[in-house]
Structure formats: structure tokens, C-alpha cells
Amino acid sequence: MQPLSSSSRERIVVKDRAGWMGMGRGAAPTALGFLQTLAVFLCIFPAATSPCKILKCNSEFWTATSGAHYPGSEDAPEFCTALRAYSHCTRRTARTCRGDLAYHSAVHGIEDLMSQHNCSKDGPTSQPRLRTLPPGDSQERSDSPEICHYEKSFHKHSAPPNYTHCGLFGDPHLRTFTDHFQTCQVRGAWPLIDNNYLNVQVTNTPVLPGSSATATSKLTIIFKNFQECVDQKVYQAEMDELPAAFADGSKNGGDKHGANSLKITEKVSGQHVEIQAKYIGTTIIVRQVGRYLTFAVRMPEEVVNAVDDRDNQGLYLCLRGCPLNEQIDFQSFHASESWSTRRKGPSPPVPPPEVFTYETATARCKEKLPVEDLYFQACVFDLLTTGDVNFTLAAYYAFEDVKMLHSNKDKLHLYERTRDLPGNAAASGQCQELVLSLAAVVCCLISLFS
């Protein structure tokens, strides 16, 4: 087998012979300078740039087929996997790349290489890269594949994976993977997590008839089929029904060799369930507190960001937060306001369990949450808006889950809620993504022309 040549990738990524990419080795400094200037220009003048994402696709392909982790042969199965991922990326950006020469060159180049190397269009695309175990490391189970143990796949002397946390509780309050804290209306069904390995959807319903206060009444988690580790599994919880098994009655990942890398454990009957998905390094905690559900997850950044089409993940709440028009500024909630101020229409037939003033709500929350952080403030808000003392416990357990799941103990307490300005977060993310993509291409060019 021949080593992976730069010419194969160059046939795809370097196509515009009339431009700077076809100038030869002597043009390398000019090309690199052009890319640096272009990155700055695109960030300063985003409205003037093309929405075509072919540059991102190019850089991902270069990254996937270079570096120490790559086998180094175009005949390796990984090369077809990288090509399929590249093709999938170009299809996602097809609508915005009409008339783009680099895009059409890439599409034809991919088809050419897939034909040359007999790559099937159907098959796996790139997965999060798992590290190879050094000699002497043992598996948790002799019959369980290495890929089914995310944490064990890291070398003893390499940096450990970075973990993030997301949680949802109360009326409802959201802590995102980036430690943004928001209070949202989000009535109805909303996706919390939607990546290549896991889907989580919650349904929020009114706490009282005629009230705009909502809480989570239903939770659905879908663990997607993953290689030789697990079959697809679905977990569903509803008010007054917190099962200790998946929807098919099983408690693990199915019949595959790595099935025990996905397990569900009942900690407290009808109140607390924990799901361990070791093959993706993920821990999920689901609780029923009073009538409503809470959710907390610990997940590696690598898995969090394993999203096929990141630009269209606007409703992935744990990653992007709640839409601006769904957010509530509970810190501006007046001390004199109570649950009745969020009631809509005629008076409900059933009064709230208890009516709290700001002083009595503060005193009740202090019993469980002595630090006046956002969890404490969320507790006070929920008591004022619902009159349900169980929301005190919901805030308390949400913080207990943070203490157990969050990797940075200095960030357990949050004191300032986050309310993004319209468009700022998206524009910032797109600019950062563009710069990273250009940086990857620059590195590849340096290697190519050196």
C-alpha cells in the first residue's frame, strides 16, 4: 500500500488553477498571507461573505487524513470513512454553494476518489477519535471492545478529556454546557440535546391551569446505535412514572459485546435514576421531585460537539440556550409579585398549594440553599410563581447534581444569569468557526509547501 499522498487531497481541495492555490511552491507565503487577511475580513464584514461552508469541509477532510493518528494509506478503511464524511459535509452546504467553483471542484474530486478506491457511499462517517490504549492496559471486560470504554481509551500520560455539564429543573431553569444560566418558558416539546450519539427531548406543561409557569412533565432519551457497543435504546419518563429500565424493558445496551457500556440504575425507587453511557463517557441523572422531572448530564466536549450540521442546531438547548423570546429575566421579578402575576385568564378552580411572599420564599429556600447564587434565586422565583414547595427540593437536587457532575469545582455556584443579545452569540460562533477552519487550512498548506 502506498502512503497517503498529498496529491489526492490536493485534487479535491486545490482546484482553482487560475487562482492562488495553483501558483506552485513559490506562492506559499502569498497564499498564507491571503488566508490570514481573509479571516480578518470575513469576521469584520460578515454580511459581505458567502454562506458557503466548503472551506470548513475542506479543512475537516485535511485534518481527518493527516496527523499522527491517521494510518497513512489511501487503501485504509479510514480513508473511505473520511471521504464519506467529506461528501456528507458538501451535501449539507450544497444549497448555499451554488456557483462556487471550489465547491463544485470538491464534489467532483470526492466522486473521483471514491470511485478509484472502491468506497461505498453507504457506511460510517468519522466518529469522535478514540485514543489507542498503550500495551499493558486492561479492559473492564474481556469481551467488551476497546471503543466501548471512552475514558479508558486515553493514554495514562495524556491529557484527560474535558467534561461539560447541562441541567434543567424547576420552572424551568437551564444551565447550558457553557455554564450559561437561563430561565425559560419553552412550553411544549423542546430538544435539550441532539448530537450524533444522543437525543434528549423534554415536554414542559403549565404548573397550574391558566398559569404561564411551566415545568418538565415528560422526558425522552434516545441512545443511538453505536458500532459494536450498543443497540438503539429509548428511555421515557413522565409525571408519576420514573421507570428503572429502557422502553423495551432492558437495563443495558442490548445484545452486542459492549452492551454493558450502557446501563441504567435505579438509585431511589420512583425518584432517582442514573444512566451510565461509558462508550461516550456520559452520565445522566433523571429525578422526579414532586410531580415534575429534573435532568442533569455530564458529557465530554468531544461528544457535545459531535453535530453533523452545527449551523442548524439552534434549538439544541443545552448547547445554544433558549431562544431569546423564550427567556425570562427572573432577577427583575419584583419582590411583591407572586404566582398570581403569571396567571392568564380566569382564576383557576384549584388554588396554589401555598402563597409565598418574597420574605417567606427566601426563608424557605435558605433552609436548603444557604448560598445566594442562581440556584437559590431560582428557588425563590419558583416558590413565588407556583406556590409549590417541591420546587425548593428541585433546586436543591439540581445543585447536588452539579456538585457530582461538573468537572470544574470553581464553577459550581453561578451568580449572574445569561441573556444573549439577538444574533451576537451566533455571529461570534460563526466567526470563531471560520477562523479555526482557516487555521486548519493554513497548517495543511505549511505542511504541503514545506
DSSP labels, 315-369: T-HHHH-S-GGGEE-GGGS-TT--GGGGB-SSPPSS--S----HHHHHHHHHHH-
Read off the amino acid at residue 102. Answer: A
> Phi/psi class of residue 188: alpha, beta or left (left: φ > 0; alpha: ψ in -120 to 50)?
left
224 and 199 Cβ atoms separated by less than 8 Å: yes
> Phi/psi class of residue 58: alpha, beta or left (left: φ > 0; alpha: ψ in -120 to 50)?
alpha
Set of cell numbers at residue 232: 438503539
Confidence class for position 223, pLDDT limits 50, 70, 90: very high
Instruction: Please give the share of the chain, as a percent, with pLDDT higher than 70.
Output: 65
According to the model, what pLDDT value does residue 9 have?
44
Q: Is it the case that residue 27 has pLDDT exceeding 90? A: no
Q: What is the mean predicted confidence (pLDDT) over 105-127?
A: 80
Q: Could you read off the pLDDT of 306-317 as tens digits, one per residue?
A: 887 655 555 689
Q: Is it the case that residue 213 has pLDDT exceeding 60? A: yes
More confident: 188 or 314: 188
Q: Is it the case that residue 36 has pLDDT exceeding 80? A: no
Read off the amino acid at residue 390. Answer: N
Q: Is it the case that residue 99 has pLDDT exceeding 90? A: no
More confident: 319 or 12: 319
Confidence class for position 155, pLDDT limits 50, 70, 90: low
Type and span of the H or E element at 437: helix 424-449
State residue 199 phi and psi, 5-degree precision.
Answer: -125, 135
According to the model, what pLDDT value does residue 52 have?
76
According to the model, what pLDDT value does residue 31 have?
37
More confident: 204 or 27: 204
Q: Is it the case that residue 349 has pLDDT exceeding 90? A: no
> Phi/psi class of residue 297: alpha, beta or left (left: φ > 0; alpha: ψ in -120 to 50)?
beta
282 and 296 Cβ atoms separated by less than 8 Å: no
In this structure, of 251-255, 267-271, 312-316, 422-426, the range with the lowest mean pLDDT score is: 422-426
Q: Is it the case that residue 339 has pLDDT exceeding 50? A: no
CA distance 19 to 15: 9
According to the model, what pLDDT value does residue 129 have?
45
DSSP of 204-225, one letter per residue? EEESSTTB--EEEEEEEEEEPP
Total length of the chain = 450
Side-by-side strand order, sheet with 198-206:
188-194, 198-206, 214-223, 233-238
Q: Is it the case that residue 159 has pLDDT exceeding 60? A: yes
Bridge partners of 300, per DSSP, are 163
Q: What is the mean predicted confidence (pLDDT) over 58-72?
A: 64
Type and span of the H or E element at 294: strand 292-300
Q: Is it the case that residue 24 has pLDDT exceeding 60? A: no
pTM: 0.62
In this structure, of 47-51, 162-166, 213-217, 307-311, the range with the lowest mean pLDDT score is: 47-51
DSSP of 6-54, one letter per residue? HHHHHHHH---TTSGGGS-GGGHHHHHHHHHHHHHHHHH-GGGS----H
CATH code linked to domain 147-320:
3.40.1000.10
According to the model, what pLDDT value does residue 340 have?
46
Q: CA 257, 149, 303, 4: dihedral to nearest 10 degrees? A: -90
According to the model, what pLDDT value does residue 379 have?
95
Mean residue pLDDT across the chain = 75
* Strand positions, DSSP E, 213-291: 214-223, 233-238, 262-268, 272-277, 282-289
Domain parsing of the chain, residue ranges = 53-117, 147-320
Most trustworthy range by pLDDT among 45-59, 156-170, 242-256: 242-256
Most trustworthy range by pLDDT among 295-299, 313-317, 351-355: 295-299
CA distance 344 to 310: 37
Q: What is the mean predicted confidence (pLDDT) over 179-196?
A: 92
Q: Is it the case that residue 86 has pLDDT exceeding 90? A: no
Q: Could you read off the pLDDT of 135-148 as tens digits, one per residue?
A: 333 334 444 567 78
